[in-house]
Amino acid sequence: MKRLILILSLLGLLGCVSSDDEGQGFGNLFDSPEGTVLTEEEHPDGWGRSDCFFCHPIYEIHRVDRTGTGVLPLKEIQKFVEEEGLDSCPLCHGDNGVIE
């Protein structure tokens, strides 16, 4: 969680935050015990899979800040994810039970 906050604040320095269209949403991820890191309990359908885009198309995720704070650097997350693709996901969401 500490590392995530670090990454987010670094990304936040790169630009300002805004987002328009709604995408996928499962509520405020920071409400769950592990934050944005996935656990088997909260991710039963996707657990152990590395083909994230199959269920979460890239242009439908990270569209809305559901923390209620407006501090998420969504534009920077989107750009980072576009550049790094599936390799980026574990940085913020953990390994999702995938054994390399």
Residues that bind ligand HEC (CB under 6 A): 7, 23-26, 28-29, 32, 36, 38, 42-46, 49-52, 54-56, 61-67, 72, 77, 80-81, 86, 88-89, 91-93, 96
Q: Which residue has the tokens 């979460």?
A: 56
Contacts of the segment 34-40: beta carbons below 8 A, 24+ positions apart: 34/1, 34/94, 35/1, 35/4, 36/4, 36/92, 36/93, 37/1, 37/4, 37/92, 37/93, 37/94, 38/93, 38/94, 38/96, 38/97, 39/94, 40/97
Q: How far is the CB of 83 from ligand HEC (least distance, A)?
A: 10
Q: At its nearest, how many Å lie between ligand HEC and the CB of residue 72?
A: 5
Nearer to ligand HEC, 45 or 100 (CB): 45
CA dist 87 and 76 (Å) reads 16
CB of 47 to ligand HEC, least distance (A): 8
Q: Can you read off the two tokens belonging to residue 65?
A: 């800040």
CB-nearest residue to ligand HEC:
46
For residue 90, the minimal CB distance to ligand HEC (Å) is 7
Rank residues 18 and 28 by Cβ distance to ligand HEC and give the closer one.
Answer: 28
